[in-house]
Amino acid sequence: MITAKAAPAPPPKPQDLTSWITRHPGRLRAEEEQQLDDALSRCPELAALRTHVHAFARMICDRTGTDLPAWICAARADDLPQLHAFADGLERDWDAVLAGLTLPWSSGPVEGHVNRIKMLKRQMYGRAGLPLRRKRVLLA
């Protein structure tokens, strides 16, 4: 008697893999964690990428920018060209990246106000002159 083998599960979508790798491991559902582990066991490059992404996330959360040179060396040790390009970008803007990973200050409030002003400007484009736009920005 011949038995039919069950068809293998389809591979996960790239956006699912990205979501699982970048999400905090404690926030994955059991089914997602199983699928991710299965994908990581099949692809060592993906497993290395996950390790580097989690290490970088820890650096951001803990503000340990002093670990950045070691992280860049570890990322370059693996054969992941896109990660090498990311590391090159970090090195090009080294002072800003290091400040962002070590200092407690944030430009978030300023960026929020800029975003609000741009939204108001877009809403009124071609409908109002400068005096009305100025009044709306000041009163909003």
pLDDT in tens, 52-81: 999 999 999 999 999 999 999 999 999 999
Is residue 104 within 8 Å of 63, Cβ to Cβ?
yes
* 126 and 88 within one domain: no
Is residue 120 within 8 Å of 139, Cβ to Cβ?
no
Residue 65 is assigned to a structural domain of this protein: yes
pTM for the predicted model, two decimal places: 0.74
* pLDDT score of 140 more than 80: no
Query: What confidence score (pLDDT) does residue 45 get?
Result: 93
- Read off the amino acid at residue 102: T
* pLDDT score of 5 more than 80: no
Total structural domains within the chain: 2
Residue 23 is assigned to a structural domain of this protein: yes
pLDDT band at 106 (very low <50, low <70, confident <90, very high): confident
* 130 and 78 within one domain: no
* 27 and 74 within one domain: yes
CA distance 93 to 87: 10
- Average pLDDT value over all residues in the chain: 91
Residue 130 is assigned to a structural domain of this protein: yes
- Token match 């800003």: residue? 96
Q: Record the tokens describing residue 58, joined without a space.
A: 């820890």
Residue 2 is assigned to a structural domain of this protein: no
* 117 and 97 within one domain: no
Structural domain of 38: 14-102
**Residue 36: count of CB within 10 angstroms of its CB:** 22
* 77 and 54 within one domain: yes
